[in-house]
């Protein structure tokens, strides 16, 4: 598909370069060693990439059959701000992820892993730039009576710090390299689903931005999966800095936040109605869950093969099925030697009433004590046994506790 590159207004370009110098000074190291790690891949450039469209016609929702919108002002009523909110949330995830990855860059398991993360960070910076382009290339984001919505949004985004980003997943501080890796595996994967759905976006400049971003996301997800597998294989051999339990705890931390990035699984009509996405939240979320299960299964197969080198992939699959079903050890491999994808009800703070702030365990059972569901304090004690130790007591953990107490008090 055809692709052109472009830049944004100089003052915004300078502003994002300034942001990069403060939040991602390591970009220089990446550029200096690009060819050592990514020979044959065109070096990173801070530009907007404008891809082609499958068609000029809106594909879903109330405008289906109409020409796509070239100007923000054509989006009337709630659609205008709803589109702005999607661009803002998308851009916040890009900037937030750079701030998160940076915290533990020096804990990378190898130089290769470190440079993979540096490239991911650079590409997230480009994605933020891309969202600035969406706002900057169209003067009609400036609306009489509403002021310059593009300018307000860009300035707000540039001032966001960890803790102040739009989505919860982008406020959690990384504590070790397992966070970088698990995050690239399960959080970037949500990004892939969002970008994929947004290829239908009725506002054409947003739709044109999705293809090039999706291409880059493939590297992020691929790097995450590869490293997650390598770290788990090492853990199975008793090597490296991390145990299988550490991997499991990281999964328990990130997967629930990934689920919630889709929005309430019982909603999402509006985005479809406005022609911004082609799937409702629940549909996209289920597909995502299946994909994560496949990724984790692949890691488990590798773990089994570490324990029993002679076993075929097929045999490993049936062995895992048996262990997961019976929860009993088989051929020396215990349930806790494998990685589990947490149940969808575990550690939820957003979504359906039936699950949020309810004391569900990783494997989906409602935790009880003397026949009654665990109290908030008892559940927090449980969480401290299944989440990374350094997350407990952190800013985002405290936020969860406060929100839980407030939610339960208002019931
Ligand atoms: Fe991105
Ligand atoms: Fe990414």
d(CA 244, CA 250): 10
Q: Ligand 2 mean position to 368 CA, how many Å?
A: 39
Show me where the domains of the chain are located.
3-298, 355-411
Q: In the chain, what are the helix, strand and coil shares in percent, each to the nearest 5?
A: 60, 5, 35
Q: Which ligand is nearest to the CA of 219?
A: 2
Q: Chain-wide mean pLDDT for the chain?
A: 97
189 C-alpha vs ligand 2 centroid, how far in Å?
A: 8
The pLDDT tens digits for 330-370 are 999 999 999 999 999 999 999 999 999 999 999 999 999 99
Cα separation of 141 and 84, whole Å?
9
Residue 127 Cα to ligand 1 middle (Å): 5
From CA 240, how far away is CA 237, in angstroms rounded? 9
Q: Does the pLDDT value for residue 1 go beyond 60?
A: no
Which ligand has an atom closest to residue 180 CA? 2
Ramachandran region, residue 287 (left: φ > 0; alpha: ψ -120 to 50; beta: rest): alpha
Q: How large is the average pLDDT for residues 73-102?
A: 97
Taking the centre of ligand 1 as the mean of its atom positions, its distance from the CA of residue 334, in whole angstroms, is 37
pLDDT in tens, 179-212: 999 999 999 999 999 999 999 999 999 999 999 9
Quick one: average pLDDT of 57-61? 95
How many whole angstroms separate alpha carbon 247 and alpha carbon 347?
Answer: 17
CATH class of 3-298: mainly alpha
Looking at the CA of 213, name the nearest ligand. 1
The alpha carbon of 16 and the centre of ligand 2 are apart by a number of angstroms equal to 18
Rounded percentage of the chain residues whose pLDDT exceeds 90? 97
Asked whether the predicted pLDDT for residue 146 surpasses 90, the reply is: no
Query: Ligand 1 centre from 134 Cα, in Å?
Result: 15
This model's pTM is above 0.85: yes
Residue 411: the pLDDT is: 82
Longest dimension (CA), the chain: 71
Residue 326's contacts (CB-CB under 8 Å, 6 or more residues apart) are none
Nearest ligand to the CA of 189 is 2
Ligand closest in space to the Cα of 187: 2
CA of 212 to the centre of ligand 1 (A): 10
Q: How far is the CA of 217 from the centre of ligand 2 (A)?
A: 5
Strand partners, 118: none
- Residues 310-336, mean pLDDT to the nearest whole number: 97
pLDDT at 148: 97
**332 C-alpha to center of ligand 2: Å?**
38
Mean pLDDT of 319-334: 97
**Cα(98) to centroid of ligand 1, in Å?**
10
Query: Distance from the CA of 128 to the center of ligand 1, in angstroms?
Result: 8
Q: Calculate how far, in angstroms, residue 408's C-alpha sits from the geometric centre of ligand 2.
A: 35
Under 8 Å between Cβ of 161 and 96: no
Expressed in angstroms and rounded, the spacing between residue 194 Cα and the centre of ligand 2 is 11
């Amino acid at each position: 598909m055809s692709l052109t590159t472009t830049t944004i207004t100089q003052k915004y370009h300078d502003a994002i370069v300034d942001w990069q110098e403060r939040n991602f000074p390591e970009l220089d190291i990446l550029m200096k060693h690009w060819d050592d790690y990514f020979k044959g891949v065109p070096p990173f450039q801070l530009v907007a990439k404008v891809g082609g469209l499958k068609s000029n016609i809106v594909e879903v929702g109330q405008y289906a059959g109409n020409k796509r919108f070239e100007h923000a002002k054509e989006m009337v009523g709630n659609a205008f701000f709803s589109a702005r909110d999607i661009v803002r949330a998308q851009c916040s995830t890009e900037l937030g992820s750079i701030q998160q990855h940076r915290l533990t860059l020096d804990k990378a398991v190898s130089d290769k892993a470190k440079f993979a993360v540096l490239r991911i960070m650079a590409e997230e910076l480009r994605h933020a730039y891309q969202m600035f382009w969406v706002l900057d290339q169209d003067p009609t984001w400036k609306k009489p009576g509403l002021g310059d919505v593009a300018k307000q949004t860009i300035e707000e985004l540039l001032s966001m710090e960890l803790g102040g980003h739009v989505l919860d997943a982008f406020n959690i501080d990384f504590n070790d390299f397992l966070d970088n890796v698990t995050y690239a595996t399960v959080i970037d994967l949500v990004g892939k689903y969002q970008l994929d759905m947004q290829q239908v976006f009725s506002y054409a400049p947003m739709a044109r931005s999705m293809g090039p971003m999706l291409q880059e996301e493939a590297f992020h997800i691929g790097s995450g999966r590869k490293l997650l597998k390598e770290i788990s294989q090492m853990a199975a051999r008793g090597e490296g800095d991390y145990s299988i339990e550490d991997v499991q705890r990281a999964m328990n931390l990130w997967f629930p936040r990934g689920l919630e990035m889709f929005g309430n699984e019982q909603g999402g009509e509006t985005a479809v109605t406005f022609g911004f996405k082609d799937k409702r939240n629940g549909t996209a979320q289920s597909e995502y869950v299946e994909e994560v299960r496949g990724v984790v299964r692949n890691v488990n197969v590798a773990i089994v093969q570490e324990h029993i080198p002679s076993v075929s992939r097929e045999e490993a699959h049936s062995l895992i099925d048996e262990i997961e079903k019976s929860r009993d050890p088989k051929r020396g491999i215990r349930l806790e030697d494998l990685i589990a994808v947490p149940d969808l009800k575990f550690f939820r703070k957003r979504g359906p009433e039936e699950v949020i702030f309810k004391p569900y365990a990783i494997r989906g059972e409602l935790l009880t004590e003397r026949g009654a569901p665990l109290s908030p304090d008892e559940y927090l004690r449980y969480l401290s046994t299944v989440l990374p130790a350094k997350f407990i007591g952190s800013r985002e953990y405290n936020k969860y506790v406060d929100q839980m107490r407030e939610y339960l008090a208002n019931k």
